[in-house]
Amino acid sequence: MTHRVTLMPGDGIGPEVASAALEVVAASGAQIEWDEVMVGQPAIKEFGTPLPDAVLRSLKKTRVGIKGPVTTQVGKGFPSANVTLRKQLDLFANLRPVLSLPGVKARYKNIDLVIVRENTEDLYAGVEHRLTPGVVGSMKIITWDACTRIAKFAFEYAVERGRKKVTAVHKANIMKIADGLFLEACRKIAKRYPPIEYEEVIVDALSMKLVVNPYQFDILLCTNLYGDIISDLCAGLVGGLGVVPGANFGKRGAVFETVHGSAPDIAGRGIANPTAMILAAELMLRHLGESAAADRIHDALINVLSSRRKKSLTPDIGGSGTTQGFTEALLAAMRGLTESELTRPYAVQGRIA
Ligand code: ATP
């Protein structure tokens, strides 16, 4: 079956990692017809906006998209294209599986955490105002409906995937009303899922606990801002931003992406690690029901990473290679050309999502 998917390469290293993912998906056996649309800097140049109407039109038709990172200017400029896209399509749940990958140097081994982040409100609602010169306000919008649906998503995910525990992340000791409402909703939903353990941890304490002993957590259920920050922390536990994918789900579709940003410091140098984008493509294939193609990609990735051949790996994970070299090694592994030198020790370990 051929699937139509909206492709948004993004900017910065986006087009580099997107093109790697495309090559790998093409070799996976899945039949995808890409509907490519511009987002981010190229779209600003061409259409005067980082998120042209054509993007939403395409996604409304295909209901599945994959997106490279998009630059969001700090303190000025257009509203974030990522945030706008999530809000416009009501992609309320952001799922970030954080998994140790063999061969990737990291502080910890065998990490298997999932971050479930609310995607549509909190301080990301974008309600900011200037009261008087030198005095501004930024609203933290929290609603009962959004809290209950994200909590439900986390517990349903736990049941489907056989996971054990959901930890609600909050700061209700200070934001008693806003984070208090979030906790109230989480508790109400948690009661419906007695086999799943439920606990609550204050976000600052969680940060410390994650660094000291990340194995004590399973699913981290977060409002928008805490989810963003905790995602980068967790990426650091497994080797950095280059290796963690993300997915946004809503009733009307799904968009797969990287956790990392556009990395302007390395854009155009051909050394971006495409792993996160390739894992995002793997998540997308699983969502489309193409599990054999997803398995092929995952196995090839594990093989190339665990081979530790410096030339096949990008510098962020200790290699001396390029995005293209890494991609070619993956394609070769998928064709089975290097089968003899690959021991496939982790070939079936830790599928994503
Ligand atoms: P954003 O706020 O848009 O999420 P950010 O400020 O978190 O972005 P990133 O663009 O994600 O920043 O980059 C943070 C650091 O991680 C940079 O030094 C960047 O080079 C590095 N980095 C991010 N993604 C990759 C990747 N795929 N390969 C190699 N290095 C990366």
Ligand 1 centre to CA of 139 (Å) is 27
Average pLDDT over residues 260-264: 94
Could you say which of 67, 124, 198, 226 is catalytic?
124
The answer to whether residues 271 and 324 touch, using CB atoms and an 8 Å cutoff, is no
| Residue 4 binned pLDDT confidence (cut-offs 50, 70, 90) | very high
Which domains are delineated in the chain?
Answer: 1-91+242-353 (3.40.718.10), 112-237 (3.40.718.10)
Residues with CB under 6 A from ligand 1: 13, 17, 72, 241-242, 260-263, 265-266, 272-273, 276, 316
Ligand 1 centre to CA of 195 (Å) is 38
Determine the atom of ligand 1 nearest the C-alpha atom of 277.
Answer: 27
pLDDT score for 291: 92
pLDDT per residue as tens digits for the range 202-215:
999 999 999 999 99
Decide if pLDDT at 317 tops 70: yes
Determine the atom of ligand 1 nearest the C-alpha atom of 273.
Answer: 28
* Residue 318, CA distances (Å) to 73, 242, 273, 312 in order: 29, 12, 11, 10
Ligand 1 centre to CA of 174 (Å) is 31
Is residue 171 flagged as an active site residue?
yes
Is residue 124 flagged as an active site residue?
yes
| Residue 124 binned pLDDT confidence (cut-offs 50, 70, 90) | confident
Q: Return the minimum-mean-pLDDT range out of 4-18, 69-83, 105-119, 339-353.
A: 339-353
Decide if pLDDT at 351 tops 60: no
Of 307, 304, 300, 310, give the one whose Cα is nearest residue 348. Answer: 300
| DSSP percent split of the chain into helix, strand, coil, nearest 5 | 45, 20, 35
Q: Give the orientation angle of helix 81-88 with respect to helix 53-62, to 10 degrees.
A: 40
pLDDT per residue as tens digits for the range 147-168:
999 999 999 999 999 999 999 9
Bridging pattern class, strands 219-222 and 165-170 = parallel
Pocket test for ligand 1, best of 19, 74, 260 (most atoms within 8 A of CB): 260
User: Hey, whose CA ends up nearest to atom 19 of ligand 1?
Assistant: 263
| Residue 353 binned pLDDT confidence (cut-offs 50, 70, 90) | low
Ligand 1 centre to CA of 298 (Å) is 22
Q: What is the mean pLDDT of the chain?
A: 92
pLDDT per residue as tens digits for the range 31-56:
999 999 999 999 999 999 999 999 99
pLDDT score for 139: 94
| Residue 349 binned pLDDT confidence (cut-offs 50, 70, 90) | very low
Kindly report the pTM of this predicted structure: 0.91
Is residue 228 flagged as an active site residue?
yes
User: Hey, whose CA ends up nearest to atom 21 of ligand 1?
Assistant: 263
Determine the atom of ligand 1 nearest the C-alpha atom of 276.
Answer: 27
User: Hey, whose CA ends up nearest to atom 7 of ligand 1?
Assistant: 261
pLDDT score for 29: 92
pLDDT score for 341: 46
Ligand 1 centre to CA of 113 (Å) is 20
| Residue 76 binned pLDDT confidence (cut-offs 50, 70, 90) | confident
The answer to whether residues 85 and 51 touch, using CB atoms and an 8 Å cutoff, is yes
Q: Give the orientation angle of helix 224-237 with respect to helix 203-212, to 10 degrees.
A: 10
pLDDT score for 201: 98
User: Hey, whose CA ends up nearest to atom 6 of ligand 1?
Assistant: 261
Could you say which of 53, 164, 204, 311 is catalytic?
204
User: Hey, whose CA ends up nearest to atom 14 of ligand 1?
Assistant: 263
pLDDT score for 352: 54
Determine the atom of ligand 1 nearest the C-alpha atom of 13.
Answer: 27
Residues 6+ apart with CB under 8 A from 198: 165, 166, 167, 168, 186, 187, 190
Of 21, 70, 84, 97, give the one whose Cα is nearest residue 261. Answer: 70
Cβ density class 104-128: b for 16+ within 10 Å, e for less = bebeeeebbbbbbbbbbbbbbbeee
pLDDT per residue as tens digits for the range 179-195:
999 999 999 999 999 99
The answer to whether residues 171 and 204 touch, using CB atoms and an 8 Å cutoff, is yes
